[in-house]
Amino acid sequence: MVDYDPVIYSRLLTSFTLGFHIIFATIGVGVPVMIALAEWTGIKQKDPHYLLLARRWARGFVITVAVGVVTGTAIGLQLSLLWPNFMRIAGHTIGLPLFMETFAFFLEAIFLGIYLYTWDRVKRKIRHLLLVIPIVIGSTASAFFITTVNAFMNTPQGFSLEGGVITNIDPILAMFTPAMPTKVAHVLITCYLTGAFLLAMISAFQILKGKHHIYHKKALHLSMVSAFIFSIATVIIGDLSGKFLAEYQPQKLAAAEWHFETTNEAPLIFGGVLTEDNDAAYGLEIPYALSILAHGYPGGEVVGLEEFPIDERPPLWIHYLFDLMVLIGIYLLLVSFIYIVSSKMAPALVYSQLLLRAIVIGGPLSLLAIEFGWIFSEVGRQPWILVGVMKTSAGATTAAHVDLLLVVFATVYIILAVSCIAVLRKLFKEYPVEKELQDRGIK
């Protein structure tokens, strides 16, 4: 019989909850931007197809927001129940962004209701467009405030801990840590990229089914052009994130790249299998690439894992998460680039079976990249819950029955997932776009 360990079950429950919630949080941040772009394009070009795009995307968005609210609330409760020692410090130092996130959500929720209600009740379309701006600001601000909490966990500051007593608390300093700029930028831009690819996936799938109406083609074009721009931004911010890790969390970068010895001109290892002698067998070694990622030039010195105590090294399997995240990012960039080039030079290829299927695959892959990136970020910080201050084992609860909570939450979330999919299918199946185009007299 396996001994009950509240730390393990607390980690499992938190991981499961966050892994589920992050799907809806990503959609909640990325899709409002696409809705705003669609309505703005429709007004600018006086094109009813783009206006209908914004209207239909907003309907589906409401359903995902509802699920995101439920799962987000559960996370707030779990932090206090499962990680009381961590919250004893975080509640005093990083409570401000947690508090502000509530107001950001209120802003988003209030204006989302007004935005949906006033579609046919505002004479000047530009005034209706203005209503989507607070939704975008609210969703983006929510992501900003929550990500500052994660940044604080990676580079904690803004307090002193002496003999277990918290003193010299500075909430502003705790919010704006060295990790904040790259983490916030990376979270936001990947949310925008994922939102664009998910919507492009839907349009590409409809075209593959033989629905060649101009509405679907315009939806695909807007989504893929946006995806290409966001892909480029993701690459740039990813590079900056690598340089942040090299300076502030070198052990995470070293574990991700199986870099054991401190060296100059360090190569980057892609894939492979780690041997007992800490050699990467069967991996692709790219000369100088790790030094360039860490410092921007080939001769940069990259700190190896040998510099850190064994009990403070992250798990080495995060290497595969890093590789998968990067590989998917390259895939999304290439697919969107091929679409852009094809639309300019060979329009017939835009709707080819191969490219459309590649776009459809890009939808779920973009969500997987989000999951891989989140797991990499959290597991790569281990064994710390607050780097250099508190280990994960010290922050967890010692209460019983966390394993029962895991079963309960897993059951509830499965029901939520099935219900969400069923409602979305029913919503759009009962009122397909072809019927709505006909009802509104749009050709």
Residues in Cβ contact with 282 at an 8 Å cutoff, skipping those fewer than 6 apart: 271, 272, 273
Q: Kindly report the backbone phi and psi dihedral angles of residue 270, in degrees, each rounded to the nearest multiple of 5, phi listed first.
A: -110, 125
State the chain's mean pLDDT as an integer.
85
Q: Kindly report the backbone phi and psi dihedral angles of residue 166, in degrees, each rounded to the nearest multiple of 5, phi listed first.
A: -90, 125
Cα angle, residue 38 at apex, residues 238 and 118 outer, rounded to 5°: 125
Q: Which of 8-12, 33-37, 187-191, 195-199 has the lowest mean pLDDT?
A: 8-12
> Is pLDDT above 50 for 1?
no
196-207 tens-digit pLDDT: 999 999 989 888
Q: Kindly report the backbone phi and psi dihedral angles of residue 65, in degrees, each rounded to the nearest multiple of 5, phi listed first.
A: -65, -40
32-51 tens-digit pLDDT: 999 999 989 988 888 888 88
Query: What is the model's pTM?
Result: 0.90
223-235 tens-digit pLDDT: 999 999 999 999 9
Average pLDDT over residues 330-359: 89
Measure the CA–CA gap between 402 and 404, rounded to whole angstroms: 5
CB 194 within 8 A of CB 177: no
Measure the CA–CA gap between 141 and 137, rounded to whole angstroms: 6
Percent of the chain with pLDDT over 90: 18
CB 230 within 8 A of CB 192: yes
Average pLDDT over residues 178-200: 92
How far is CA 239 from each of CA 72, 188, 333, 336, rounded to the nearest angstrom?
30, 15, 15, 20
Best CA proximity match to 332, nearest among 199, 213, 232: 232
Percent of the chain with pLDDT over 70: 97
Measure the CA–CA gap between 172 and 365, rounded to whole angstroms: 36
> Is pLDDT above 70 for 2?
no
User: Where exactly are the structural domains of the chain?
Assistant: 27-247+321-376+395-439
301-311 tens-digit pLDDT: 888 888 888 88
Measure the CA–CA gap between 386 and 360, rounded to whole angstroms: 39
Highest mean predicted confidence (pLDDT) among 175-189, 208-222, 418-432: 175-189
